[in-house]
Structure 1
Amino acid sequence: MESFVITWRELLIGAVLVLAVYIAEMLLLMRSAKPRGWRIWQRGAEAHAKSREVQSLEMEFAQLQGQVDKLQKELEKLKTQQVAVTPYTHAIQMAQQGLNVNEVAASCGISRGEAELIVAMHRNQSNDS
């Protein structure tokens, strides 16, 4: 009988072939898995970008809300200053307190006709309510 002898050269060629098959198989698996992995990575990147955009919009919204609050306070301040400045608002308050036309006209520095109109309007309003 003949004996079967494997030389180093044949063993090396066999190992290289096995290694080549293994590498080819890994490359094929990686190539077929790449789109899936790429899509997952891409979704993560898109989600991260959207998250940054949402944070940016939230910060901008907070700044705008602060500006709106500031403007509302300034508007209220201007309204109270405007109301306090006019003699007609003082006349309205006096008419609502029940003072007569002569007292309203003298105290507010408005004409008697204006005082009569204000007293008449605000006596009717206080009687209606």
Structure 2
Amino acid sequence: MSIWTIVSLAVSVGTLVALAYLWWRAKRDGESSARLTALHLDHLQQQLSMLQRDMEHLAKSKSLPRPQSKGEDLTSTPYNQAIELVKHGLSAAEVAERCGISRSEAELIVSLYRNNSTS
């Protein structure tokens, strides 16, 4: 065997070893990448589930009526009181003063509810 044959054989074996290592490394990295992708997907699914629960909780809390304190009546809001005063004939200035609302709000209520035959 000549020296060139030995060198050629050594280069061929070295190339085969390098290719085998590269194949093994690519396979291992692919599996590692797949594991990381699966972990990331699981994390995203958990976040999505938490967001869905939060959205359902918010939707339920928005649809529930506002809790009332003892003795509170829905007609006791300044606007409902203003509507009642307008129906009894008070002016916008008197309504604004008694209910603690602005004059423009009182005028709007007067324009909506004075002589309103549907209410």
TM-score normalised by the chain length of structure 2: 0.53
1:35 alignment counterpart: 25
Where in structure 2 are there 5+ consecutive unaligned residues?
Answer: 1-12, 113-119
- Structure 1's 39 and 83: CA in aligned 2 closer, same or farther, altered over 3 A? farther
The Cα shift of 1:89 comes to 4.6
Determine if the alignment matches structure 1 residue 58 to structure 2 residue 41.
no
The Cα shift of 1:127 comes to 6.0
Query: Which of the pair has more CA radius of gyration?
Result: 1
- Higher helix fraction: Structure 1 or Structure 2? 1
- Structure 1's 54 and 69: CA in aligned 2 closer, same or farther, altered over 3 A? same
The Cα shift of 1:125 comes to 2.9
Determine if the alignment matches structure 1 residue 100 to structure 2 residue 81.
no
Give the paired residue count. Answer: 91
Which residues of 2 match residues 1-129 of structure 1 at below 5 A? 28=17, 29-74=19-64, 77-78=65-66, 84-86=74-76, 88-96=78-86, 98-101=87-90, 117-118=98-99, 121=103, 123-126=106-109
TM-score normalised by the chain length of structure 1: 0.50
Where in structure 1 are there 5+ consecutive unaligned residues?
Answer: 1-23, 102-112
